[in-house]
Structure 1
Amino acid sequence: MSCPFNDEQLMQLQAFIELCKTQPQILHHPRLSFFKEYLVSLGVTIPTATFGTKHFTPSGDGSQNETGEKAQSSTEEESEQESDVELDMDGVVEGDSIGDDQLMGDSNKEPSDEDRDKSDEKRSEAMRAFSDQQFEEAIKLYTEAIQLNPQSALLFAKRGQVYLKLNKPNACIKDCTRALELNCDSAAAYKFRGRAYRLLGKFEEASHDLCESLKIDYDDQTNEWLNDVKPNAEKLRQHKLSVQRKKEEKEHREKLRRLHKAQEARSQAAKAQAQANAQSAPTGGMPSGMPGAGPFPQGFAANDLGSLLMDPEIITAFQDPEVMAAFQDLSTNPANFVKYQSNPKIAAAIQKLQAKLGKGGSMPFGGGAGFGKGPSDDDVGLD
């Protein structure tokens, strides 16, 4: 089956996949609901939404590694490393548990005009209760308004603000995340969620959200909250950069180690092959007149034999069947070397052996130093 996409489309798809890896919360965007539903149908677990964290990877990121074991190991390593960073934890609170009473409304409901009007009335009542610091009442009224109009990002953001006043940062984050799913440019949702992250000690996430809020709509309080989290967020950022550098250096050293090991293995294999070739060549039927099978020049030592057997030219010459047959003949009757003087191949082999063993002297089977210049009376044994 041919690929139904062209190169440009494949590049766009690859870019989208990379975005999903670094910002899995993007899968909760309403316009990507079809893709999210498809992934869920395949049994994929979608990470909890932290929608709107553009160009940002929060600490404890939920992206998956190649294996669950690697992901767990990486998370544990990062936790241990971040524990070494000295942070100002003043003002950090224990996280709240989200109860079933935090109703989110029917996300598929399309409110009528009447529903919107009633929802606005409830919102006005909730705002008055909030001004009177009747926070529980405000939560109740905002919840009623949300059930009437669950498509209003403002209602979720405002209820999140009330949860923040009640020191329930996790409930605030849940509401503000829903608000950002409905409206990714909600400055209030970024602002209150950023403050909630700060209360939980998630300084990088807090810094990001507060920055996003200021980009959309500047607010003095938001700027003050941002200045409060910046020192800790910067410490964590620098620490992560240091950890990343150390990781890359470690991977580089490991790569060099593997490369060196592979080079050593290739070198050992080459030596073993050369030794095997050297050992196998003479066993193919060295003539009996060769070293160890007949007379050799006077003073021929064992190391001379080793030098002969390791000589590549000698080994190559004796792998030729014609040369082997000639030397077998010569080992039987050394006087027969005369008939091989006209054969260039055999003459060359005899001269190589003569130079190696005799150093210009006599051959082990009677050949003289002048082999190749023509037979003499002494060579053929005539009177």
Structure 2
Amino acid sequence: FGSSSPSSRARLTVPAEGVRQAMTDKENAAAAKAKGNAAFQAKNYEEAVKHFTEAIGFDATDHVFFSNRSACYASMEQYDLAEKDGQECVKLKPDWPKGYTRKGLAEFFLKKYDEAADTYKAGLKLAPEDATLKEGLQKAMDAKYELPGAGAGSGG
């Protein structure tokens, strides 16, 4: 009675492996995120991007991975990529204020001041006392009303 045919054993194993694989993806994503966080803390942003990208490969539904990668891109002054990840973060978790700080920061540095202000306002609806969102909105409004050409390196 101890042995079963290979075909029945295979049928029993497939669902278990599917569950095990799902857990492995979550675990792999968490491990990649931890490596990314460590690299970010060490200001090794390119390495951190690789790890967060790996985490996204394992679980593209986790808004934090996009938020963290957005922060890396912003730290490397790759604001177009930071904006895309900020947008994805907000799309995945629209009730999470930090996503709006990521997106708004990138929009600000891309000189999309109206969009940045709107993004910060949307975040402030969720977290009216958030200092980062308030400061971002103020900077976006100030920049919007600065005279053209007043900033260094501006040329339209």
TM-score (ref. length: structure 2): 0.73
2:64 matches 1:187: no
Cα deviations by residue, 1:153-212 (Å, 9 ceiling, x for unpaired): 111111111101110111011111122222222322211111111111111100111122
Task: Report if the CA contact (8 A) 1:153-1:186 is conserved.
Answer: no
Matched, 1:158 2:68: yes
Q: Would you tell me which structure has more helix in proportion to its own residues? A: 2
Superposition pairs of residues 131-146 of structure 1, within 5 angstroms: 131-146=41-56
1:28-63 Cα shifts (integer Å, max 9, x gaps): xxxxxxxxxxxxxxxxxxxxxxxxxxxxxxxxxxxx
Is the aligned partner of 1:126 residue 2:36? Answer: yes
* Residues 117, 140 of structure 2: 8 Å contact kept: yes
CA distance in 2, matches of 1:151, 1:187: 17
Bigger RCO (CA 8 Å, 6+ sep): 2
Give 1:227's match in structure 2, choosing from 138, 144, 147: 138
- The match for 1:215 is 125
Give the SS at the match of 1:112. helix
Q: Which amino acid aligns with 2:117?
A: S
* Aligned counterparts of 1:165 and 1:219: Cα–Cα separation in 2: 21
Task: Give SS of 2:60's match.
Answer: coil
Task: Give 2:27's aligned residue.
Answer: 117
User: 1:59 corresponds to which residue?
Assistant: none
Q: CA deviation at 1:219?
A: 2.9
Answer yes or no: is the 8 Å Cα contact 1:122–1:145 preserved in 2. Answer: yes
2:114 to 196, 204, 214: 204
Gap runs ≥5 in structure 2: 1-20, 147-156
Q: What pairs up with 1:18-33 in 2 under 5 angstroms? A: none
Distance 1:221 1:232 in 2: 16
After superposition, the C-alpha distances for 1:271-313 in whole angstroms (9 at most, x for unaligned) are xxxxxxxxxxxxxxxxxxxxxxxxxxxxxxxxxxxxxxxxxxx
Distance 2:41 2:121 in 1: 27
Displacement of 1:139 in angstroms is 0.3
Three-state SS of the structure 1 residue aligned to 2:91 is helix
From 85, 99, 106, the counterpart of 1:175: 85
Q: Does the CA contact (< 8 Å) of 2:101 and 2:132 recur in 1?
A: no
Distance 2:144 2:25 in 1: 43
Structure 1 residue 216: deviation in Å? Answer: 2.0
Deviation at 1:230, TM superposition (A): 1.4
Counterpart Cα distance in 1 of 2:58 and 2:137: 34
Structure 2: distance between partners of 1:208 and 1:233: 12
Quote how far apart the aligned CAs of 1:123 are.
0.7
Other structure's SS at 1:201 match? coil
Partner AA of 1:220 in structure 2: A
Using structure 1 for the length normalisation, give the TM-score.
Answer: 0.31
Contact 1:187 1:213 (8 Å CA) reproduced: yes
1:296-307 mapped onto 2 (5 Å cutoff): none
Contact kept in structure 1, 2:66 and 2:85, CA below 8 Å: yes
Pair member with larger Rg: 1
Aligned partners of 2:31 and 2:126: how far apart in 1?
Answer: 27
Could you tell me which runs of 5 or more consecutive residues in structure 1 were left unpaired when the two chains were aligned: 1-110, 236-383
Number of residue pairs the alignment of both structures matches: 125
Report the aligned-residue RMSD.
1.8
Question: Percent of aligned pairs with the same residue?
Answer: 24
